[in-house]
Structure 1
């Protein structure tokens, strides 16, 4: 595979958090035979799954505690900030792969 195409596809696996989270990396994982791209697709896929699970879990916890302010704050801190950190990590990894 052309190194420029490899970098582009690998970076877009991380950037797909904004347009096709976990779907694009999953398709790339199964469709592209290049091992380096597969590794990046797997890492991106796993990092996209956390917010998909964490945000609804935070909402459920808040609802189960009858929207107690302490539960909402803890949910935002645990799940919201972690999801934000993962989003920043994906952007940094995409830039790192693309500029390498």
Structure 2
């Protein structure tokens, strides 16, 4: 297999919050098309479209979970996973000690 046959994995680009806010403002405040702004900034129009959609939700112009609500939901899901794991560990430990104490 030659190097030409190996698929190249692209790294996901990271954008600063300031860059995202400026890009969204270019769309919402100037009524320019998402595709036009995205092309000018060298980013994907789907990426910018997702940012614009979330900004509209955050501004109350569209229904959906705000950024703060999404962050809280993510935090709560992580916390639930941790608590569930701890509970399951305690169940196994209790079952082990009950079994050991009856011997």
TM-score normalised by the shorter chain: which range applies? 0.3 to 0.5
- TM-score by length of structure 2 reads 0.32
- TM-score by length of structure 1 reads 0.33
Q: Structure 1 or 2: larger helix share?
A: 1
